Amino acid sequence: MAAEAAQVVVPPAVQLQPLRLPDDAGALVAFITGQDWPFHFHLRPSTAQVQAWIAADAYAPPGAQAFWIVVDGECAGFTRLFDLEDIADGEPQFDLRVGAAWRGRGVAQAALRALCDHAFGTWPPLARISAETRVDNLAMRRVLVSCGFVLEGQFRRAWDSDDGARHDALWFGLLRDDWASGVNTPVRWVDEAGVR
């Protein structure tokens, strides 16, 4: 009896296409308001909320860069880098939203790798990229670790949600050196016992 071949999962070919405002405003509003975002503060933002974020330049330079996540010519999601005002001594973060139909297919991992390549390739002085997620967002935690991010901290009950619940938040970081080498630098945790 011949052995069955193992299933080979090929990551999707993801492209990041720049969000063009004001032309893409309607599509962005429809995308964000058209589905639930279980691990974001707003489970399903309203049209008015997204329009207010657009008006406040949450998706536009100089503070942000935003992209459609495109797979095989279809919009699979949306991502943005933010806190870009002071790249030289700052640490941008990102928002990553993969549409429900595309979740669990490797899109988030491929998109995050592309976003990190873009950020480190665009800004030579950029030393790190940070990420924050809820402790119960296991899928995002797996994506972060698979992309070289290292857990750097846990903030107890620091994440509010629409329903009033408070969740622990986890803080991750990706250093330029780790991104370039593909090798993670472990965190050297401080021994709190020594300061008591």
Q: What is the mean pLDDT of the chain?
A: 89
| Burial class for 165, CB neighbours closer than 10 Å (0-12, 13-18, 19+) | exposed
In angstroms, rounded to a whole number, what is the distance separating the alpha carbons of residues 176 and 122? 12
Strand pairing partners for 69? 16, 77
Return the pLDDT at 158. 86
Return the pLDDT at 196. 57
Percent of the chain's residues with pLDDT above 90:
73
Amino acid letter at 185? T
Helix (H) or strand (E) holding 137: none
pLDDT at residue 10 tops 70:
no
- Work out the average pLDDT over 121-146: 95
**3 state SS of 82:** strand
Return the pLDDT at 42. 81
Cβ(80)–Cβ(66) under 8 Å?
yes
Confidence of residue 105 (pLDDT cuts 50, 70, 90): very high
- Work out the average pLDDT over 118-143: 94
